[in-house]
């Protein structure tokens, strides 16, 4: 079974990371390294598919971490060839705990013109409707993943090659998708017309790489070339290099702003901007908008660290590691006993007592989702002798669920959906609580005038409730969109 996450249930989770390479010897080794660098995007399961001219397509799919599964030479020896793709995943909220190995990507399909494998990051918002249609027309699904719809749509296309069939399929799909796919000789990358989820292109000697983030290029020594543009498809071969296609009608891009806040690794580059520097700048904006009279600025590690540094620098309050993270949690407590579970975040975080005793603490975190972890950390700080606790949050209140590839609780479980900022402060029991404003967040990511309410530059639906693509499946189930103001 996949590892559970009993101590991280108060964080939003990106659901997937994708990686692919063509034109290199032993492609699977590079894919495994790339997936290891993308492990933060999905820690439940991973898979690799390769193709070898002599042995054909081969795949390996496993639950757990990349390091536990794809450093085994016996496994890697079963994945020969100069082309390969891989995927790491979390399950969606609806299927968590019920994941089967058949749900683990990449998915593979055999077509009349040859086989193809596909790995998908994002979420198809009309997947239920597509699945019903496809089943009514005779398709037999092997998984519960919405991504499998793409394979079935490709199978029903009348186009004569796989890239054209993929164009046909993705034109039927709504929502967010960054796709990495492969045939026997071609590596294919596609972003949806809004470019909600990231995808980048790199070069490794004479070979080419596609990845969810630039940090995975670094680990294999590949050079960053550019981002795949919103609405673009690239078809790459070792012989002919990169060919670009535009299969969709052009739309105004709406990249996920939460990638800047939390999902992406701080050593990645997004939109030409350092993720670390953006997060530090969020802390600067937060200090300007919500100053605090305090003795120390402390991050909730590790995601709050860059913003805490920026807050400290702008406010002139010393930065300190008041909370220490246990870096060796790993999978030690896959099946925790009730007694261990009740210990909660103490297994993951510990207070630096000598530092915080008698001090007024500004605690900087990336987000507040349910608030359960925030309450426990406040209790731990006060137990350790802190005189005051002031929360500063490096994102606006998360009041709406994401339907584009992020594991978000139901709206009624989001603290900001039912409480005002003052009510949340009282609920958390802290001396003060402030979130960065949506305009402040936009300034931190480089939009000097803040958010344009008529034409937002990013997807910020989790904060604003304004969905750039209507979540049609959820609306059908009764989800109520935000009323027009």
Q: Yes or no: say if 402 and 461 are a contact pair by the CB < 8 Å rule.
A: yes
Conformational region of residue 385, where left means phi above 0, alpha means psi within -120 to 50, and beta covers everything else: left
Q: Which strands sit side by side in the sheet containing 175-182, from one edge to the other?
A: 107-111, 114-124, 175-182, 187-191, 233-237, 241-245
405 conformational bin, left if phi > 0, alpha if psi -120 to 50, beta if neither: left
Q: Which of 232, 233, 237 shows the shortest CA–CA distance to 186?
A: 237
Residue in 235, 251, 114, 126 with CA at minimum distance from that of residue 192: 251
Cβ 190 vs Cβ 232: under 8 Å: yes
Helix (H), strand (E) at residue 349: strand 349-351
Of these residues, 16, 215, 459, 462, which one is catalytic? 16
CA dist., res. 440 & res. 435, Å (int): 10
Q: Find out whether the peptide bond into 106 is cis, omega within 30 degrees of 0.
A: yes
Q: Which residues contact 14 (CB under 8 A, 6 or more apart)?
A: 40, 41, 42, 90, 259, 263, 405, 406, 407
Q: Choose among 5, 6, 2, 1: nearest CA to 338.
A: 6
Assigned token pair, 113:
């013109």
Contacts of 242 (CB under 8 A, 6+ apart): 201, 208, 234, 235, 236
What is the number of other CB atoms lying within 10 angstroms of the CB of residue 55?
12
The Cα–Cα gap between 267 and 249 comes to: 33
Structure tokens at 242: 């990169």
The pairing of strands 255-256 and 45-52 is unpaired
Q: Is 16 in the active site? A: yes
Question: Which SS3 state, helix, strand or coil, does residue 370 take?
Answer: coil
CA distance 82 to 429: 57
Active-site residue list: 16
């Amino acid at each position: 079974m996949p590892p559970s996450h009993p101590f991280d249930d108060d964080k939003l989770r990106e659901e997937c990371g994708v990686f692919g390479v063509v034109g290199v010897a032993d492609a699977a080794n590079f894919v495994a390294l790339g997936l290891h660098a993308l492990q933060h995007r999905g820690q439940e399961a991973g898979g690799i598919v390769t193709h070898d001219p002599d042995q054909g397509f081969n795949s390996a799919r496993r639950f757990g971490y990349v390091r536990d599964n794809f450093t085994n030479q016996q496994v890697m020896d079963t994945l020969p060839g100069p082309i390969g793709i891989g995927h790491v995943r979390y399950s969606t909220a609806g299927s968590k705990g019920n994941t089967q190995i058949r749900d683990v990507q990449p998915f593979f399909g055999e077509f009349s013109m040859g086989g193809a494998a596909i790995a998908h990051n994002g979420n198809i918002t009309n997947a239920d409707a597509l699945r019903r249609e496809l089943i009514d027309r005779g398709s037999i699904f092997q998984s519960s993943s919405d991504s499998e719809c793409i394979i079935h749509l490709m199978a029903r296309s009348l186009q004569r090659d796989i890239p054209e069939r993929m164009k046909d399929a993705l034109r039927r799909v709504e929502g967010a998708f960054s796709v990495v796919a492969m045939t026997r000789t071609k590596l294919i990358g596609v972003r949806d017309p809004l470019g909600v989820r990231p995808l980048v292109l790199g070069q490794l000697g004479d070979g080419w790489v596609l990845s969810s983030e630039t940090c995975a290029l670094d680990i294999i020594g590949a050079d960053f070339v550019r981002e795949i543009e919103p609405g673009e498809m690239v078809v790459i071969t070792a012989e002919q290099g990169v060919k670009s296609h535009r299969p969709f009608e052009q739309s105004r891009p709406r990249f996920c702003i939460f990638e800047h806040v939390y999902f992406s690794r701080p050593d990645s580059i997004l939109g030409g901007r350092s993720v670390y520097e953006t997060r530090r700048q969020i802390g600067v904006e937060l200090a300007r908008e919500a100053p605090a009279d305090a003795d120390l600025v402390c991050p909730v590690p590790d995601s709050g660290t860059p913003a805490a540094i920026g807050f400290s620098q702008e406010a002139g309050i010393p930065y300190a590691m008041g909370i220490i993270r246990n870096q060796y949690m790993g999978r030690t407590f896959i099946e925790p006993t009730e007694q261990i579970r009740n210990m909660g975040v103490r297994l993951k975080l510990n207070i630096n007592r000598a530092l915080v005793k008698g001090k007024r603490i500004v605690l900087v975190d990336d987000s507040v989702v349910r608030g359960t972890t925030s309450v426990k950390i406040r209790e731990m700080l006060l137990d350790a002798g802190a005189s005051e606790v002031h929360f500063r949050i490096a994102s606006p209140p998360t009041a709406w669920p994401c339907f584009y590839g992020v594991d978000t609780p139901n709206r009624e479980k989001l603290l900001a959906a039912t409480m005002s900022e003052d009510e949340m402060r009282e609920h958390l029991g802290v001396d003060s609580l402030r979130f960065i404003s949506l305009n402040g967040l936009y300034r931190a990511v480089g939009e000097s005038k803040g958010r344009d309410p008529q034409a937002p530059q990013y997807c910020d639906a989790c904060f604003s409730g304004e969905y750039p693509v209507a979540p049609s499946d959820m609306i059908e189930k009764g989800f109520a969109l935000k009323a027009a103001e």
